[in-house]
Chain A
Amino acid sequence: AQKVTQAQTEISVVEKEDVTLDCVYETRDTTYYLFWYKQPPSGELVFLIRRNSFDEQNEISGRYSWNFQKSTSSFNFTITASQVVDSAVYFCALSEVGGTYKYIFGTGTRLKVLA
């Protein structure tokens, strides 16, 4: 069965600190996709990144970076020099390939960035 675990329920940091959000997944598929979404208080899920299982290259986008390690089934997300606007709930998700491509979400990590 597919499963996504985000063990950190809530993290609080002071502005300008770096913070890493953990994501561990389980799947029997060899081909799959991993995602990160941000959910601000407004409720809309904002897409941040998609990574397929064959691409283990780390990615950096501005202050955001992602570390994908198949050996440990992890797809961690780091925000460098955090800002108050980064405060939100962040979800990691796993998608099968073929069929419905339904997303399996973790329970989310609430990030609070304090000024």
Chain B
Amino acid sequence: ETGVTQSPTHLIKTRGQQVTLRCSSQSGHNTVSWYQQALGQGPQFIFQYYREEENGRGNFPPRFSGLQFPNYSSELNVNALELDDSALYLCASSLSGAGVTDTQYFGPGTRLTVL
């Protein structure tokens, strides 16, 4: 196990609602990355947080937003849910810093279904 935890495990929402997904990073890691994995596809990068600041964003609309807390845990918020948002959402933690490129370790994911 990686020590990265995510909650909830599964979630069902209806179109137009808002959702918050949570991630606790591995001890000692200061960076959290979020990915969306649609069925049958590879994970797609949503954004990354490093020391509580957004540190890069993929091709996702502004209704996807996030936070990182002082303990390096993180939240992913999605507003105005659409049917296409149904996917497995993966959180990955890593250690970043000057000259450091650590491997990303993934949590078990949250499966979101939008009806």
Whether A associates with B in a native complex is: yes
- Which A residues fall within an 8 A CB radius of B? 4, 33, 35, 37, 42-47, 50, 91, 93, 95, 97, 99-108
Q: Among residues 10 to 61 in chain B, which have CB atoms less than 8 Å away from a CB atom of chain A?
A: 33, 35, 40-45, 48, 55-56, 58
Given A100-B48, A100-B56, A102-B58; A43-B109 close (CB under 8 Å): yes
Which of chain B's residues have a CB closer than 8 A to the CB of A101?
Answer: 48, 94, 96, 101, 104
Give the distance in Å from the alpha carbon of A108 to the alpha carbon of B38 in the complex. 12
The residue in A42, A46, A50, A105 that gathers the most chain B C-beta atoms within 10 A of its C-beta is A105
Contact A47 B105 (CB under 8 A): yes
Interface residues, chain B, with chain A CB atoms under 8 Å away: 2, 33, 35, 40-45, 48, 55-56, 58, 88, 90, 92, 94, 96, 101, 103-109, 111
A4 / chain B contacts, CB cutoff of 8 Å = 42
The interface residues of chain B lying within 8 Å CB-to-CB of A35 are 103
Total A-B pairs in contact (CB under 8 Å)? 64
The answer for the CA separation of A27 and B56 in the assembled complex, in Å, is: 18
A39, chain B: closest CB distance, angstroms: 9
Q: A43-B109, A43-B111, A50-B103 are in contact. Are A103 and B94 (CB under 8 A)?
A: no
Q: Can you spell out 6 A-B residue pairs with CB atoms less than 8 angstroms apart?
A: A44-B107, A101-B104, A103-B45, A105-B43, A108-B41, A108-B42
Are A106 and B109 interface neighbours, CB within 8 A? no
6 closest A-B pairs by CB: A100-B56, A105-B42, A45-B106, A102-B45, A44-B108, A43-B109
Q: How far is the CA of A45 from the CA of B4 in the complex (A)?
A: 11
In whole angstroms, what is the CA distance A67 to B113 when docked?
Answer: 38
Q: Output the residue of A45, A46, A99, A104 with the most chain B CB within 10 A.
A: A45
B15 to chain A, nearest CB (A): 24
CB distance from B7 to the nearest CB of A (A): 14
Interface centre among B44, B92, B101, by most chain A C-beta atoms within 10 angstroms, is B101
